[in-house]
Structure 1
Amino acid sequence: MTFDLLITNATIVNADGAVRASIGIEDGTVTALLAPDAVVPDAVRTIDANGLVAIPGGVDGHCHAEQTTGAYRSLDTYASTTSAALRGGTTTIIDFGIPDGTGQTPIEALERKIHLVSENGARCDVALHGSVITWDDSTSAQLERMAELGVHSVKMYTTNRGSTMSDDDTIVRVLHEMVRLDGLAYIHAEHDGIIHDRTTACADRGAIGIEHLHESRPEISEDASVREILAVAEYTGAPVYFVHQSTPAAVDAVAEARGRGLNAFSEVCPHYLLHDESVYSGLAPEKFACCPPFRSSSDVAGLRARVNRGLVDTLSSDHTSYDLAQKREHSDDVRHMPHGLPGAGTRMPAGYTAMVVEEGLPIEDFVALFSANPARVNGLHRKGAVAVGNDADIVLFDPEERRVVRASDLHQDSDFSPFDGMELAGWPRYVVSGGHVVVDAGEFADPGPVGRYIGQAPFSERPGITRPASVVARHAVSA
């Protein structure tokens, strides 16, 4: 037997535990896990992983590429977004087909993105979520077509009136359709009425610039919207996934709903674990224009505590490639700024630093958040674990290595990072994606346009989120 790639002396950490083994790879698939004392077979290339940790390649369930929102278009392509993701240890991204506001239908938006994956040279695998803004007589058939294309998740926004916001009737109808079509509803949950009232009040007193973003979108707007959507989910029986939760109360609401038997999931982003609202009084507040905004230091501590308790399912970047010129064009009025931060290339080190280094989270639990759970909840069966038969998506890293973040080193289409100047741990030394060595001793080795569009399994065919043993043990202690 001759492998295409052999990784020897590997300490493999999956969400369910760690083993010592060598990893044999053929045709982009893990085909063997060999005991440490096994005879080392031949391979076209061998990487010695001694001293490194091997984890499954990251799955970023919430990533925006080539996106148009209102007057702004992100500056990236699939080639550049996926290259940045690979450099940061993410080997699969899940993007969104969101109608661009020009009359584009949900299915047109989705089919365009499927086309762009190959047309614009994705470097790693890409799955997609659909999106519905306004229900009409064609929506049901469009959702059926999405399911035929392997898209079994649909995103809706409860805010952003006049652009991406879905009204209550649309949300109820789409959740009914998710039950019928065996899908999952992705929800951006902020209460639009509260936000509109608060931003109007802020504008009336001249406090509507970026330095006041956190005042214009209060915590209660997120908490109220999450509970409202959970009620609709309970009424319809639909599973729901809440993106970028930023408050402890929002996470608690989802956990309570799970306790009542709902299929409900919480996602956090690394930036909400490493920064608080004080960033808006700094020298460059434009670097932190995102929705929801950053919260108080006590909220950050509470969010971290809930991740540690196993109440959060996934860690996503919510990556969007705007630059500072776009951010600063309307930084005097947050109602007209483009919101969103680059993060595909820093999701692993930022999340690892916040939760493993600073909070003591076991690496197994980090793997669950970073890779295993996003793969499971999104129906990507060959992702999320270093296991025989899975895609050969593997990250090797030195847990002790630290690097200072500089946007210029990230090779992304944004000229800033929300982590500029911070020293982070958890940077990949080697990244294998679909059997290709794409980060080689810390250097990017462009594999070319090898990324595939991949479909999701229906929701009923997705394995449940498995809480790692370390989480179960901590629950027992706290009880």
Structure 2
Amino acid sequence: MMSHFPDLVIANGTVVNSFGRQAAHVVVDGGRITRLLDAQEPVPAAVRTVDAAGMLVIPGGVDGHCHVAQVTGRFRTLDDYATTSTAALWGGTTTIVDFGIPRDAQETPLDAVLNKKRLATESRCDVALHGSVITWDETVPWQLEQLAEEGVRSVKMYTTNRGSTMADGDTILKVMREMVRLDGLTYIHAEHDAIITDCTEQHATDGRIGIEHLHRTRPGLAEEISVKETLAMAEYTGAPVYFVHQSTPGAVDLVTAARERGLEAFSETCPHYVTLDDTVYGSHFPEWYACCPPMRDARTVAALKERLASGAIHTVSSDHSCYDLSQKRERTDDVRFMPHGLPGVETRMPVSFTALVTEAGGSVEDFVAVFSAGPARINALPGKGVVAEGFDADLVIFDPAAKRTVDGGALHMGTDFSPFEGKTLNGWPAVVISAGVVVLDEAGFHDPGPVGRFVARNGFTEHRSIPAPIPA
């Protein structure tokens, strides 16, 4: 009988998980990691062997906050799943989590998710989804049950953007109750709408409403007050809560204090909030930085980076939104009518690594925690975020010493700019393996076709009860 050789062996690398590292050969077969062998042992025979000597082998990235083919008002991002998943793989991310956000009052939360699930069949990497609720009605509990059966176990709500995506306090509280019942997770975009609206109107009255004033129209106080109010509702209902794109240390500290009281609360930030400050709005191209929340002042950025290095921030996600400059420039005169959001799924790895490890002194293990392991575990993604036997063979052979200067035009996100244009960044992928297949190596990108799977998520508490691998 013929011997069966595994599909792939990654030989002689240093495997780095969030909990530690070991020199090992990683054996891959059938899309999963089947063995980790001590690097002192002989390299086993395989259909393909990739030598990772001198490199780090880390879990493929999990980007828990992406917007793909997103419709917001009259604007639609220019990407599709084929484009965004390809860019993700170029950047060492092997799983993206998108949002099914109703585009208007006629699209239900369930319909929005099912539409995204259909579009995601073109993805080159694995995809999971969040739901979203804007308005409460008597059908919402049933819709959330259907979403849970589909493997969608989180719901995002906005505390601002009245008239479009904003959910009122009654809706947020009722949805939180349902997510507790369904063992799910509540995602929150936290900015206090009354403060944002009033501040924006004051600036408009004064004629200071162009993009160069964006950071003044959305103060950090609005974010922190909204976090505080939402944490109170989470404490009242017992709901686990996850705050997207936190941009101030005060917001993070509120979550830390809540966790110390026993709440299941989590902080996410984005690469741009620990890298760029509000002087970008005085640059020649302020429209490159139109996002909400906006960039903060340099002191706030430095303090936020300290929170990241200390472990107080649990994930770094891209908040990828693929508009181009023509869309951004339609209404630079009035931030109320601009599309907000930045392309970033491809650059999340080097920007995060540079901020956390190169600049803030964190370890590679810390980087793996926020880039892959944390988002996988918090979002209850089975098989993701760990290099260990039985886990999905989503892997990056990572070169922490690699330096490249960002050229937005040479990236693969389907847009014509990057907010990190011209920045020299450390830490890029040398080889990317998705579902056991090498999709990026020294020869370039090897398009696997629309092979990405939809990942049904576990329940929040169910997943947290699964024991983590024991450190080697």
Q: TM-score range by the shorter chain?
A: over 0.9
Deviations 1:383-420 (A, max 9, x none): 00111100000101221110000112211111110100
Aligned to 1:41: 44
Q: Work out the CA distance in 2 between the residues paired with 1:49 and 1:390.
A: 19
Q: Work out the CA distance in 1 between the residues paired with 2:398 and 2:150.
A: 35
1:218-367 aligned at under 5 Å gives the runs 218-367=219-368
1:207-226 aligned at under 5 Å gives the runs 207-226=208-227
Q: Per-residue deviation at 1:309? A: 1.2
Task: Give the secondary-structure state (helix, strand or coil) at the position aligned to 1:401.
Answer: strand
1:200 equivalenced with 2:206 (yes/no): no
Q: Work out the CA distance in 1 between the residues paired with 2:142 and 2:467.
A: 34
1:150 equivalenced with 2:154 (yes/no): no
Q: Per-residue deviation at 1:60? A: 0.3
The answer to whether the Cα contact below 8 Å between 1:7 and 1:46 also exists between their aligned partners in 2 is yes
Aligned to 1:23: 26
Q: Work out the CA distance in 1 between the residues paired with 2:61 and 2:272.
A: 17
Q: Per-residue deviation at 1:137? A: 1.1
Q: Per-residue deviation at 1:442? A: 6.3
**Amino acid of the structure 2 residue aligned with 1:45:** R
The answer to whether the Cα contact below 8 Å between 1:156 and 1:166 also exists between their aligned partners in 2 is yes
1:61 equivalenced with 2:82 (yes/no): no
Task: Give the secondary-structure state (helix, strand or coil) at the position aligned to 1:159.
Answer: coil
Name the CA shift for 1:258/1:62 in 2 (closer, same or farther; >3 Å): same
The answer to whether the Cα contact below 8 Å between 1:377 and 1:464 also exists between their aligned partners in 2 is no
Q: Per-residue deviation at 1:466? A: 11
Aligned to 2:7: 4
Q: Work out the CA distance in 1 between the residues paired with 2:405 and 2:417.
A: 13
Task: Give the secondary-structure state (helix, strand or coil) at the position aligned to 2:400.
Answer: coil
Aligned to 2:381: 380
Aligned to 1:115: 118
Aligned to 1:100: 103
Name the CA shift for 1:271/1:466 in 2 (closer, same or farther; >3 Å): farther
Deviations 1:152-188 (A, max 9, x none): 1000000001100001110111011011111100000
Q: Work out the CA distance in 2 between the residues paired with 1:101 and 1:20.
A: 52
Deviations 1:247-283 (A, max 9, x none): 0000000000001100000001011011000000001
Aligned to 1:452: 453
Task: Give the secondary-structure state (helix, strand or coil) at the position aligned to 1:412.
Answer: coil
Q: Work out the CA distance in 2 between the residues paired with 1:350 and 1:443.
A: 21
Task: Give the secondary-structure state (helix, strand or coil) at the position aligned to 2:96.
Answer: strand
Q: Work out the CA distance in 1 between the residues paired with 2:156 and 2:361.
A: 33
Deviations 1:93-120 (A, max 9, x none): 00000000151000000011111111xx
Where in structure 1 are there 5+ consecutive unaligned residues?
A: 470-479
**Amino acid of the structure 1 residue aligned with 2:295:** F
Aligned to 2:444: 443
Q: Work out the CA distance in 2 between the residues paired with 1:463 and 1:269.
A: 24
Task: Give the secondary-structure state (helix, strand or coil) at the position aligned to 1:176.
Answer: helix
Q: Per-residue deviation at 1:320? A: 0.6
Aligned to 1:79: 82
The answer to whether the Cα contact below 8 Å between 1:243 and 1:267 also exists between their aligned partners in 2 is yes
Among 31, 35, 42, which residue is 1:32 paired with? 35
Q: Work out the CA distance in 2 between the residues paired with 1:259 and 1:37.
A: 43
Q: Per-residue deviation at 1:467? A: 12
Q: Per-residue deviation at 1:37? A: 2.2
**Amino acid of the structure 2 residue aligned with 1:378:** N
The answer to whether the Cα contact below 8 Å between 2:64 and 2:97 also exists between their aligned partners in 1 is yes
The answer to whether the Cα contact below 8 Å between 1:322 and 1:414 also exists between their aligned partners in 2 is yes
**Amino acid of the structure 1 residue aligned with 2:343:** P
Q: Percent of aligned positions with the same letter in both sequences?
A: 58
Deviates more, 1:373-382 or 1:441-450: 441-450
Q: Per-residue deviation at 1:368? A: 0.4
The answer to whether the Cα contact below 8 Å between 1:376 and 1:465 also exists between their aligned partners in 2 is no
Aligned to 1:472: none
**Amino acid of the structure 2 residue aligned with 1:14:** N
The answer to whether the Cα contact below 8 Å between 1:373 and 1:465 also exists between their aligned partners in 2 is no
Where in structure 2 are there 5+ consecutive unaligned residues?
A: none
Q: Which TM-score applies when normalising by structure 1?
A: 0.96
The answer to whether the Cα contact below 8 Å between 2:388 and 2:469 also exists between their aligned partners in 1 is no
Name the CA shift for 1:71/1:466 in 2 (closer, same or farther; >3 Å): farther
Task: Give the secondary-structure state (helix, strand or coil) at the position aligned to 1:20.
Answer: strand
**Amino acid of the structure 2 residue aligned with 1:455:** A
Q: Work out the CA distance in 2 between the residues paired with 1:467 and 1:301.
A: 32
Q: Work out the CA distance in 2 between the residues paired with 1:467 and 1:442.
A: 35
Deviates more, 1:147-156 or 1:30-39: 30-39
**Amino acid of the structure 1 residue aligned with 2:214:** L
Task: Give the secondary-structure state (helix, strand or coil) at the position aligned to 2:112.
Answer: helix
The answer to whether the Cα contact below 8 Å between 1:265 and 1:312 also exists between their aligned partners in 2 is yes
The answer to whether the Cα contact below 8 Å between 1:377 and 1:465 also exists between their aligned partners in 2 is no
Q: Per-residue deviation at 1:139? A: 0.7
Q: Per-residue deviation at 1:69? A: 0.4
Q: Work out the CA distance in 1 between the residues paired with 2:425 and 2:353.
A: 8
Task: Give the secondary-structure state (helix, strand or coil) at the position aligned to 1:367.
Answer: helix
Aligned to 2:161: 160
The answer to whether the Cα contact below 8 Å between 1:248 and 1:306 also exists between their aligned partners in 2 is yes
Aligned to 2:425: 424
Q: Per-residue deviation at 1:462? A: 2.1
Q: Work out the CA distance in 1 between the residues paired with 2:149 and 2:338.
A: 36
Deviates more, 1:30-39 or 1:269-278: 30-39
Name the CA shift for 1:465/1:33 in 2 (closer, same or farther; >3 Å): closer
The answer to whether the Cα contact below 8 Å between 2:133 and 2:167 also exists between their aligned partners in 1 is yes
Q: Give the root-mean-square deviation of aligned CA atoms.
A: 1.5
Q: Per-residue deviation at 1:464? A: 7.3
